Chain A
């Protein structure tokens, strides 16, 4: 039964070492992680535990020092800059600080993501509006990030992350910068996406409350996975 599921992400003995001046910092010390299609997983840990480094590796933003990252079977640790860029299009990033382009409207931000793989203007406009509607922002498409609340901005970010039908959503403290009521709304949206639309979701957080709402959480400490919990 287990083997019939598609493996979306797998890390094998993943290691990352930074040089802090002359001193090596072992940020990841051999991480093995498997994420399957439709999974909803939290990577939990205090700051300095290596969870951000792990996020960069599985987000194809950085290359590991040792070990492999397989994204749907493709070894990301062996790719060049261009190939990594192509791979990143298949990953939906959601950041703590939203990271929207300030001068573009909500729709413009989603459209930009669609323009990168070269989608035509009318097509991407339609799709951007659908995506924003999907996250409950149909009425706010023309607003710029500065005219939107924190929760709304994060919804735009989620719509943008979903734009290119990613293999999985990679969320970095998605509720870290919004109030608890809005945070709950966002988590509800994320849960709906997972349950109703079968979107694979990986949330990196230090918030136990967020982690408890996922299907599975992985506890990190000092660059290693120390505990796995099925919620």
Chain B
């Protein structure tokens, strides 16, 4: 019997029981839709986050910090008492393949302007070098001075416009008061000075580790050393000559060696890699949950096929009496399942995609935004939008999975149908 004839026979059998076939298909639709929606949302989330990280990350950088691990707040000290100094950059600059390095002093401060007060990070850094490392350290208003005076400050977008409503907290050529509580002094006291805003940075968005952030106030490193009365720095950012795996590896090792293993070196690429592996795990978990619903659909298919097999016992007997081989009876039943599976998968993929977009719109727009907190302080937040991503792999995978589940669960009923004894099947009422 020709494949096309088997297919059309199977199709005819499905058409006869539209409601039943429709409900069976619905099971597959729900399973596949759940998988597609969850996967495309999580992939969208992943690409949004990685994208935002990459802009704030620069793949050709290393972050040197004190102690065993990289710390988002970055103010840890090693138990041995080792600290990084601002002029340690000179040591690092000597290492092969290092383009430049820049020291960062970071504190949490209050900034005050026209009676209002914000909690923000203050970052002491060499402006020129920093701009050289991170292209996002770029002025939207004003200009980043090459040779800044001590009072010069550069503010992130969310310092200038913290409420996103054009009510500016401060602007270019304005002044802000910087207040830092010196907790090591006895008694603790507030240090303060007035900074002149030379530039407002372009909006960076999302997270940034080491790189420019919308919630920071930038001051020259020399001013930071003076104001905080310290030569210690919290991070040293190293720009490499290239972002080859080998370069990252060798420079990381060289830096660790230069500081006798007292520092930890974090590669942005490594962080991205860890993040994406975390996402893969989450994705797998979500897909697993969705797969359960598909399993239920599969059992539904099996159930329906067994009922159908009983109803059609006589028909199978007739087909066998007409000389149809067992194999072709098997194929007819498998074809029916495959048609249901394919239709379910196609509709499921479509509705899953629609569902993902609806969820994304609800998440990204309106009242309920996704807020990511970047740092220890609760105040600085920035919102992200998710664009669901339907990769060809997910699309093809979902279709294949829907088809496979349907066919696998139909195997047993189809096999039973094919093994029916023609004499008994013909006698069946």
Residues of A within 8 A of B (CB): 56, 59, 61-62, 81-82, 85-90, 93, 95, 99-101, 103-104, 112-113, 115-118, 160, 164
Which bracket fits the contact residues of B?
20 to 34
Contact A104 B12 (CB under 8 A): yes
A-B contacts, 16 of them at CB < 8 A, read A62-B421, A81-B326, A82-B326, A82-B327, A87-B323, A88-B322, A88-B323, A99-B314, A99-B318, A103-B16, A113-B322, A115-B2, A116-B322, A117-B1, A118-B2, A160-B322
Contact A61 B322 (CB under 8 A): no
Q: Does B325 contact A (CB under 8 A)?
A: yes
Contacts A101-B315, A117-B323, A118-B2 known; A62 to B423 CB distance under 8 Å? yes
Contacts A104-B12, A115-B5, A118-B1 known; A61 to B324 CB distance under 8 Å? no
**Complex: A90 Cα to B323 Cα, angstroms:** 8
Checking B12, B13, B322, B328 against A93 with a beta-carbon cut-off of 8 angstroms, the contacting residue is B322
Contact B12 A89 (CB under 8 A): no
Contact B423 A56 (CB under 8 A): yes
Q: Does B157 contact A (CB under 8 A)?
A: no
Q: A56-B423, A85-B325 are in contact. List 14 more A-B contacts (CB 8 A).
A: A61-B423, A62-B421, A62-B423, A82-B326, A85-B326, A88-B323, A93-B321, A99-B317, A103-B12, A112-B9, A112-B322, A115-B9, A117-B1, A117-B323
**Neighbouring A residues of B326 by C-beta, 8 Å:** 81-82, 85
Distance from A208 Cβ to chain B, minimum over Cβ atoms (Å)? 25
Distance from B323 Cβ to chain A, minimum over Cβ atoms (Å)? 3
Q: Does B422 contact A (CB under 8 A)?
A: yes
Closest to A89 in B: B323
Q: Does B107 contact A (CB under 8 A)?
A: no
**Neighbouring A residues of B5 by C-beta, 8 Å:** 115, 118
Distance from A90 Cβ to chain B, minimum over Cβ atoms (Å)? 8
Contact B323 A61 (CB under 8 A): no
Main secondary structure of the interface of A (DSSP, over half): loop
Contact with A along B417-429 (1 / 0, CB 8 A): 0000111001000
Contacts A81-B326, A115-B5 known; A88 to B320 CB distance under 8 Å? yes
Closest to A124 in B: B5
Distance from B213 Cβ to chain A, minimum over Cβ atoms (Å)? 69
Residues of B within 8 A of A (CB): 1-2, 5, 9, 12-13, 16, 314-315, 317-328, 421-423, 426
Closest to A103 in B: B16
**Complex: A81 Cα to B329 Cα, angstroms:** 13
Distance from B288 Cβ to chain A, minimum over Cβ atoms (Å)? 40
Contact B321 A101 (CB under 8 A): no
**Neighbouring A residues of B422 by C-beta, 8 Å:** 61-62
Contacts A61-B423, A99-B314 known; A85 to B12 CB distance under 8 Å? no
**Complex: A104 Cα to B326 Cα, angstroms:** 21
**Complex: A228 Cα to B421 Cα, angstroms:** 32
**Neighbouring B residues of A61 by C-beta, 8 Å:** 320-321, 422-423, 426
**Neighbouring B residues of A164 by C-beta, 8 Å:** 323
Closest to B6 in A: A115
Contact A82 B321 (CB under 8 A): no
**Complex: A103 Cα to B320 Cα, angstroms:** 17
**Complex: A128 Cα to B283 Cα, angstroms:** 56
**Complex: A115 Cα to B5 Cα, angstroms:** 7
Contact A59 B1 (CB under 8 A): no
**Neighbouring B residues of A118 by C-beta, 8 Å:** 1-2, 5
Contact A88 B321 (CB under 8 A): yes
**Complex: A179 Cα to B421 Cα, angstroms:** 31
Distance from B332 Cβ to chain A, minimum over Cβ atoms (Å)? 11
**Complex: A88 Cα to B328 Cα, angstroms:** 15
Closest to A82 in B: B325
Distance from B18 Cβ to chain A, minimum over Cβ atoms (Å)? 12
**Complex: A89 Cα to B325 Cα, angstroms:** 10
Distance from A177 Cβ to chain B, minimum over Cβ atoms (Å)? 14
Contact A116 B423 (CB under 8 A): no
**Complex: A101 Cα to B322 Cα, angstroms:** 12
Closest to A172 in B: B426
Closest to B422 in A: A61
**Complex: A35 Cα to B324 Cα, angstroms:** 25
Contact A116 B321 (CB under 8 A): no
**Complex: A85 Cα to B1 Cα, angstroms:** 12
Checking B2, B13, B318, B322 against A89 with a beta-carbon cut-off of 8 angstroms, the contacting residue is B322
**Neighbouring A residues of B2 by C-beta, 8 Å:** 115, 118
Distance from A111 Cβ to chain B, minimum over Cβ atoms (Å)? 9
